[in-house]
Structures are given as structure tokens and as C-alpha cells.
Amino acid sequence: MKSHAKAVVIGGGVVGCSVLYHLAKSGWTDIMLIERSELTSGSSWHAAGGFHTLNGDPNVAKLQAYTVQLYKEIEEISGQSCSLHLTGGVMMADTPERMDFLRLAHAKGRYLGMDTELITPSEAKAMFPLMDETNFVGAMWDPVEGHLDPSGTTHAYAKAARKLGAEIVLRNRVVELTQEVDGTWNVVTEQGTVKAEHVVNCGGLWAREIGRMVGIELPVLAMEHMYLLTEPMPEVEEFNNSTGREMIGVLDFKGEIYTRQERNGILLGTYEKACKPWSPVSTPWDFGHELLQPDIDRIAPSLEIGFKHFPGIEKAGIKQIINGPFTFALDGNPLVGPVQGLTNFWCACAVMAGFSQGGGVGLALSNWMVHGDPGFDVWGMDVARFGEWATLRYTNAKVRENYSRRFSIRFPNEELPAARPAQTTPLYDTMIANNAVMGDSWGLETPLWFAPRGSEPKDVVSFHRSNDFGPIGEEVRATREKVGVTEIANFAKYEVSGPGAEDFLNRLMTNRMPKTGRIVLTPMLNEFGRLIGDFTIAKASPRGGEERFMIWGSSAAQKYHMRWFEKHLPKDGSIRIHRFDQTLVGLSIAGPKSRDLLQKLVDVDISTTAFRFMDFREMAVGGAPCMVNRITYTGDLGYEIWMAPAYQRLVYKAIKEAGEEFGLVDFGMRALLSMRLEKNFPTWFRELRPIYGPFEGSMDRFIKLEKNDFIGREAAAKEQAEGPKLRRVSFIVDAADADVMGDEPIWAKVGGKDYGTVEKPHGYGAPRFDAGGKEVRGSNAAEGASAVRGIVDGDWRVVGWVTSGGYAHYVEKSMAQGYVPAALAENESAGLFEIEILGHRRPARVNVEPPFDPSGEKMRT
Ligand SMILES: Cc1cc2nc3c(=O)[nH]c(=O)nc-3n(C[C@H](O)[C@H](O)[C@H](O)COP(=O)(O)OP(=O)(O)OC[C@H]3O[C@@H](n4cnc5c(N)ncnc54)[C@H](O)[C@@H]3O)c2cc1C
């Protein structure tokens, strides 16, 4: 074993081997993989080997599609077969709601370039005759599904990596990780220490233990998982002989089961409700190639439904039940990327579908390590997407919930209950007493809407408008006409201070930094000129002679943004960044009477001229020291008031008492989001994401190319000079009783006109190099964009996709935001657009100016 390596990958499961292969392919050959035992000694060896491309996150779906198409490549390089069976598969819906879900998935698949198709239960039965089709109302066919040999595939990655120069060391456990002052890692193994620049945690079942070696608790947990194999079945052989085809894969939502042909019999796996974590606190190092005891009672309820839905299988004898553990993160997607707060410590773990996702994970991570950027929008699997609140016990509760709902539909207004409440603000009990329906916002309980007194504060989950529609409308109207108050503790808040803080922020942000006491809105770009943040920044008065800026951003992106800030901090420690998390909480008041209300609570003049729109001031509110921004996301006259948690109850009480004479109401997050829609305001992670440029995102007025040289400036200047291909636009939709949720296709009546190729980007052109140092671009399925292929219906064509939307209660319109070709972005003609909602195309019209207060007069008053 060599004593130095550029990178050490810990773990020889399918994920570690894929990471090793991709690093080697990117030109890093001084790399080694260290495996405790033999390759596939974790969960990889007993996997059912199924793969598919569908995923709730379109960007993860795209990386899954890449994984599937990669198998041919590694077979060719390694000479090792993966035993690929590309059978195709169906998802079966047993209720109209599940059919709505499939319609949505199908609609999304369209612009991702997936060839999914909605089919009848009888058509599904023709491909899987063991089912009783009368149990179902419909199905979705996906041709890119199948199964493979898990061990062969892992070895194919490993052999291909070796051929490219990587070293693999077996039967050697990593026992300790320490880091030198210069950043070098000491990878202490049973066979000695390796000095490495980078360490990658691909520990699978032991990922948590490897995390603990560097002082972190990764939110990952292993669950027991069972599948059964039947004896050979004559029906299967008969089908194969008569059609010349293998039976397809079937996913049954109701039974929470998947099934497919395995040799001459059937494999059937369950995601049972009564699921069981495995080794919940720590994983024994001596666990190896053994299986767990099957527990037929646990899966009996799923099997009962399974045998009813697939009576053909019930008749077959069960040959074997496999029970093995594999790992999950809270939401079922992987944990990939550099860990915030550490240098050159990388994760590729919690990969619950290694054979669907392993390739994409390896590609994204190797790009990130070699070129400093994953090259794709990998937020859906970024290790930074969970906060400190994801503790061992929190993770345990959430992973169990996720597992037991693996095939359940998540409705757009559905909040999941496990591990809640976790974080609460001092106003939690007050909000509950006010009949608030609470939601989880990055682990924090946040009021969503207020149910009328005497009614149960609970969402009726639905794809259609639901029981919150009326109350939210009332919250919006009362706020717009009088005044409303809401909690905003769930924003991210940071303070940047120190000499040179302004220069530092000017280098990071696209807008000019504000003068003392003023606020700016500013996007943040990566080197490729893509949007990686959107912030509100205020300049506070200097303290101790040092510059001080307050920053507010997206709650969910706190670790993601901290990682970026830390990466760019000067090494001399002159600038400090403090993330407040819940040590700073807030309230926002908005509406025409909000100034009168606030004036009663402060001892300074806050008239229009004394405290202008976009002003920032530290002042006492109701006797509590606060920071006040004259700005709100409602787009109305309003204020954001920030205080230490100890003062929040005092300030809220003062606002409520002072507000009585003005007709003050409480409003929740959903009313806030409704109000932002009628102002055409974008949201981070929906409208604004790293796949879009700032001009595509219609953020033009916040991009000051003429100021200093900021990160991404050159690329942004190029985007502006060439003209963005896409534009973010707002629509008014002629919806019925359901509004858009996001990811719906946008149709346009373009006739024979060509508005340019319409593409949904996933990657963003980060340069990559092959082993010979030659630059390669768009060389595989994941790197390019998804062309919206051939989706044509007469004069109509799919030209874009929705990012978010809903009902704008004050203007009484259903609204949507999304991306369309730039040439169409300002065309407000009626009859030009349609947006597909739950499978039905509804007329839509571009709305360039926001329907509420287009001149912005109200917020400036
Ligand atoms: C019953 C069952 C059915 C499944 N079916 C499917 C399926 O149909 N499709 C699908 O895609 N996925 C399936 N999976 C999941 C799949 O197995 C996992 O997604 C995949 O194996 C994860 O691979 P990994 O490389 O991350 O982890 P692992 O396979 O657990 O590999 C981790 C490796 O790291 C090594 N290691 C850990 N710590 C150290 C250390 N300190 N030093 C050195 N080496 C170390 C371990 O020995 C191990 O070999 C199934 C899993 C089970 C249990």
C-alpha cells in the first residue's frame, strides 16, 4: 500500500467504486480505495439490483438516467458484465389521487426527455400477466427500468477504475482520521497510515462511524429491508416463451411493493409500514456478508395486498426471503459533497438506490473534487441540505417515516409529522393557541395559516384547492387592506464583520453593497455565472470601528451558503461570518396601516422621509432592542423586525395590542407566498437555482456588471451580451379548482415558428477534462440539458416548465412562474400559452408587470 495519495476513498461498495472510477476518469490517478473486507461487503452484495430513472427531484432523476446509460461504458472498459436487463416497468395507481400523481410525474418526465406513457391497467397486465388489473385505475410506463447483477456491477466499476490507474486495497479497515495544520489528512488504517489531500466517505452502512472519526454526526440510518424470491413459476416461463420477452418491473403504490421477474420466478420487495431500523446507534465493525433474520409477520400486511393485486404470485412457493440493511437520509436522497466546516472531507453516502444513483453520485462528486464544482444542480442530494437539528434521534424518526412512505404520495400541502416539533420559537405556544396550522421549515415550526376559531387546525391534503383556501384569502385581504403580522424566524440570518467586509461582499455579490442604514437585494453567482444565492443585505453602523453587514437569505440553504462564504474568506481571519440560526428571530408587519402601528411602538420618527423604503435601522420596538428593515416579501408597505428570542414574545404582544385599533390579523407563510406571487417575486430553490443565469432568472436590475470584479461577472457579462436563451416569467392561469405546484409543462401555440431549442438545463457547462487533460463538454446524458423533445400537438409545443405558483388571493387569480424561451417572454397575447395542471391544459397569459401594485408605489409610500 502506498503511503501518499491525492484522494483516499473509504469503502468498496457500489458507490465507492463509482466515485473511484469517476475520479480516475477525470484524470486523478494518484488515488486509492480502501476497503475493510472484500468489495461489496456492506449493503451492495444483497441488493435486489433494480434500477429506474424516476425521482421526485428532476435533477436527481437526470443523474439516475446517467447512471443507467453508464453501465455499457463500464462493461466495455472493464470487460466485466453487469448482467443488465432493461425490461421497462410500470407504476400502478389504485385511486384517482394516485393517478393524479402519475399524471404529474408523466408531465414532469416530458420536459426531462423521458419517454414515460400513461397506460391502462389492461395494457400493464399484458406486460405483467400475474396481476389482477381490476385493482387499478391506471398506470405509467417507463422504458428505462430494469435490473442488474449488483456484485458484477460493483466489480465492473472497480476494474474500470484500476484500468485507469487507481489502486484498491482490500481487507484493511480505516480506523482513524486526523488532519494536519496544513490540511493533509492522515488516514490511519490497519496496515499503516496514508497521507491524503482528500478523503471521501463512501462507508455505506458505516458512513456514520466514519463521520464520527471527524467529529460530525451524519443524518443517515440503516433500515432492514426484505424481498422474497419465488420458486420457478410456469406462468413466467410461458410468458417468456410466448412473447420472447422478460416480464417487466411493477411498482404498486397501495401495497408499497415492487416486483419483477428473477430468473424463472418472481422477486417481490416491500417497504412495510412497521419498518425497523438496523443498528440505530452504531454499526458493528464485524458485520459482513451475513443476512438478517427474515420477519414474515412484519411484511404480512404488504404481502396480503400484494397477493390480492398479483394473485399469480400467491400460488408460487417462496424459495427464500432476503433481509438486509441499507442506509437512508431523512428524505431518501443521498448525502453528497464537501462537508461544511471541514476541508477536503467529502461524502457520498446514504445512497439508498446505489444501482440507480451510484453513477450520477460518482460523476457529480468527482467533478466537485477535481474541478471545484459538481457541474449540476445537485441540491437534492447535497450533504449541506440538513442542519444541526438532524440529530441521531431526529434522523431515526424521519428515516422511519420516509421508509414507511416510500411509495406514498406526498401532497403539495402535506406536512409530515415525525420528529416534530423539533425547533420552536418562543411564540410557538401562542401560535398554537391562535389555531395556527404549523409547518416544518428547515426543522423549525412555522405558522402556515390560521384555521378559524372552533375548527380543527389541520390541512385536508389534496392536489386541489383545500380547506386553507378561504382562511388564507382572508389573511391576505386583511393584510393588504389593513395590516397583518407574521413570524419570519425561518429566514437565514448572518452577520459579516471586520475590516474589508464590504470588499469581501462586493466580490461575492452581484449588486453594489449598500451605504450605512440602507438595504440592497442581491443575487450571488458561481464562477460559471449561475445563480447560487439571493440575499437581502443591510449595512449596519460600524462597531468598534469595524464594518458590519446583516444578511438574510434562504433558510434551507444556510449550510450551503456558509460553505461558499467560508471557501472565499480571507485566510488571515480578518473577516468574521456569524450564522445566527435561531439566536435571532423575527416578525414582519405589512399592509397600509403597518407604519401607523409601528410608530406607536417606537420612539423615533419613522415617517416616509425619515425611514424610507429599503432603510435599515437599529431601534427599540415595544421596548425591545431590534433591527428593523423597511421591506417585506408581501411587496406592500411593511417592515421586518429582528430580535433576540428573549424579546420575541414582548414584541409580538406589543404589536398585537397596538394593532387592535387597525384591525391587525395574524397571517402565515402561505399567505406570504400568495402575496409574493401577485408581485411576481421569485423564490430561492424554485425560480432561482444554480441551473439558471441571472438574466435568465430576470434578475437584471440586481446585476451591476460595471462595479468591481465579482465572482461570475465574466460569465454574466457574456450571458447579457449574447442575450439569455430563457427568461423567468409570471403567468395568470385560467385554472379550475387546482393551481400549479411546480414542474408542470408550459405549452405555446407557436405554429411553425422556431423559438430556439427549449431545454431544461441540469448541468451548467462547468469545464471538465478527460484523463489526457482535454476539455470535454456535454459528453454524457447528465451533462447536457434535457431537450423538450418532440412534444408537439398540432400548432402547440411544450416550450418551458413551471417553477412554482398558486392562488394569488388579493388579485383573485391563479398564478404561475416558470421559464420560457426569451423570444416569448414578453408576449402577453391571450391564447398563446397553456399550462398543464394535473394532465389538463389550462389557458395561461404572460403577465410582465405584477398584477398587484405594478408601479411599486405602495411599498415605497
Ligand atoms: C435487501 C436489499 C435490497 C436492495 N435492493 C436495491 C435495488 O433493487 N436497487 C438499488 O439500487 N439498491 C438496492 N438496495 C440498496 C443498495 O444496496 C445500496 O444503495 C448500495 O449498496 C449502497 O452502496 P454503498 O457503496 O453506499 O454502501 P455499502 O454497500 O454498504 O458499502 C460500504 C463499504 O464500505 C466499507 N467500509 C465501511 N467502513 C470502512 C472503513 N472504516 N474502512 C474500510 N472500509 C470500510 C464496507 O466494508 C463496505 O464494503 C438494496 C439493499 C438491500 C439491503
In tens, the pLDDT along 248-298 reads 999 999 888 999 999 999 999 999 999 999 999 999 999 988 899 999 999
Which amino acid, one-letter code, is at 657?
Answer: E
Q: Rounded CA gap, 794 and 747, in Å? A: 11
Burial 333-364 (b: 16+ CB within 10 A, else e): bbbbbbbbebebbbbbbbbbbbbbbbbbbbbb
- Which bin fits 574, alpha (ψ -120 to 50), beta or left (φ > 0)? alpha
What pLDDT shows up at residue 787?
Answer: 38
pLDDT band, residue 777 (cuts 50/70/90)? very low
Pull the grid cell for residue 309.
393485486
Q: Is 49 in the pocket of ligand 1 (CB under 6 A)?
A: yes
pLDDT (tens digit per residue) in 688-737? 998 899 999 999 999 999 999 999 999 999 999 999 989 999 999 999 99
Residue 44 CA: nearest ligand 1 atom is 21
Give the Å distances, CA to CA, from 426 to 389, 431, 458, 646, 650: 17, 10, 22, 8, 10
Give yes or no for residue 416 having a pLDDT over 80.
yes
First to last CA, the chain: 71
Pull the grid cell for residue 13.
461498495
Please compute the mean of the pLDDT values over residues 607-633 and round it to a whole number: 98
Cβ atoms 674, 808 nearer than 8 A = yes
What pLDDT shows up at residue 780?
Answer: 32
Q: Rounded CA gap, 504 and 718, in Å? A: 23
What pLDDT shows up at residue 284?
Answer: 96
- What is the 8-class DSSP label of residue 830? T
Ligand 1, atom 14, residue with closest C-alpha: 47
Pull the grid cell for residue 566.
467560508
Give start and end residues of each alpha helix (H) in 521-639: 558-568, 594-601
Q: How far is CA 131 from the centre of its chain?
A: 35
Residue 17 CA: nearest ligand 1 atom is 25
Give start and end residues of each alpha helix (H) in 678-777: 713-722
- Which bin fits 262, alpha (ψ -120 to 50), beta or left (φ > 0)? beta
**Which mutation among 282, 326, 333, 335 tests ligand 1's pocket best, with the greatest number of atoms within 8 A of CB?**
326
Residue 326 CA: nearest ligand 1 atom is 53
Q: Is 354 in the pocket of ligand 1 (CB under 6 A)?
A: yes
Please compute the mean of the pLDDT values over residues 581-610 and round it to a whole number: 98
> Dihedral of CA 773/774/775/780: which sign?
negative
Q: Is 16 in the pocket of ligand 1 (CB under 6 A)?
A: yes
Give yes or no for residue 770 having a pLDDT over 60.
no
Cβ atoms 376, 762 nearer than 8 A = yes
Ligand 1, atom 27, residue with closest C-alpha: 204
Cβ atoms 803, 742 nearer than 8 A = yes
Ligand 1, atom 32, residue with closest C-alpha: 204
What pLDDT shows up at residue 53?
Answer: 81
* Mean confidence (pLDDT) of the chain: 93
Indicate the pairing of strand 174-179 with strand 665-666. Answer: unpaired
Percent of the chain's residues with pLDDT above 90: 83
C-alpha 592 – ligand 1 centre gap (Å)? 58
Q: Is 177 in the pocket of ligand 1 (CB under 6 A)?
A: no
Give yes or no for residue 774 having a pLDDT over 50.
no
- Of 351, 372, 50, 352, give the one whose Cα is nearest residue 362: 351
Residue 355 CA: nearest ligand 1 atom is 11
pLDDT (tens digit per residue) in 8-43? 999 999 999 999 999 999 999 999 999 999 999 999
Give the number of other CB atoms < 10 A from CB of residue 424.
17
Q: How far is CA 25 from the centre of its chain?
A: 27
Q: Point out the least confidently predicted range of 197-201, 527-531, 644-648, 672-676.
A: 527-531
Residue 324 CA: nearest ligand 1 atom is 53
Pull the grid cell for residue 441.
421549515
Ligand 1, atom 10, residue with closest C-alpha: 353
Give yes or no for residue 789 having a pLDDT over 80.
no
Q: Is 270 in the pocket of ligand 1 (CB under 6 A)?
A: no
H or E segment and range at residue 69: helix 58-78
C-alpha 15 – ligand 1 centre gap (Å)? 8
pLDDT (tens digit per residue) in 809-841? 999 999 999 999 999 999 999 999 999 898 789
Indicate the pairing of strand 31-34 with strand 4-10. Answer: parallel
Ligand 1, atom 37, residue with closest C-alpha: 203
Please compute the mean of the pLDDT values over residues 667-682 and round it to a whole number: 98
Ligand 1, atom 2, residue with closest C-alpha: 47
Q: Point out the least confidently predicted range of 88-97, 145-154, 777-786.
A: 777-786
Give yes or no for residue 544 having a pLDDT over 80.
yes
Q: Output the 3-class SS for 160-219.
A: HHHHCCCEEECCCCEEEEEECCCCCEEEEECCEEEEEEEEEECCHHHHHHHHHHCCCCCC
C-alpha 715 – ligand 1 centre gap (Å)? 40
Cross-strand partners of 478: none
Pull the grid cell for residue 635.
411587496
What pLDDT shows up at residue 700?
Answer: 97
C-alpha 47 – ligand 1 centre gap (Å)? 8
Q: Output the 3-class SS for 281-316.
A: CCCCCCCCCCCCCCCHHHHHHHHHHHHHHCHHHHCC
What pLDDT shows up at residue 759?
Answer: 53
Give yes or no for residue 658 having a pLDDT over 50.
yes
Q: Rounded CA gap, 610 and 604, in Å? A: 9
pLDDT (tens digit per residue) in 108-162? 777 666 778 899 999 999 999 999 999 999 999 998 899 999 999 999 999 999 9
Question: Is 13 strand, coil or helix?
Answer: coil
Measure the CA angle with vertex 303, ends 301 and 307; round to 5°.
125
pLDDT (tens digit per residue) in 478-533? 999 999 999 999 999 999 999 999 999 999 999 999 999 999 999 999 999 999 99
| Dihedral angle of Cα 368, 370, 371, 373, to the nearest 10 degrees | 0
pLDDT band, residue 105 (cuts 50/70/90)? confident
Give yes or no for residue 345 having a pLDDT over 80.
yes
Q: Is 151 in the pocket of ligand 1 (CB under 6 A)?
A: no
H or E segment and range at residue 348: strand 345-349
Give the number of other CB atoms < 10 A from CB of residue 307.
16
What pLDDT shows up at residue 760?
Answer: 52
Question: Is 799 strand, coil or helix?
Answer: strand
Ligand 1, atom 53, residue with closest C-alpha: 324
Q: What is the largest CA-CA distance in the chain?
A: 87
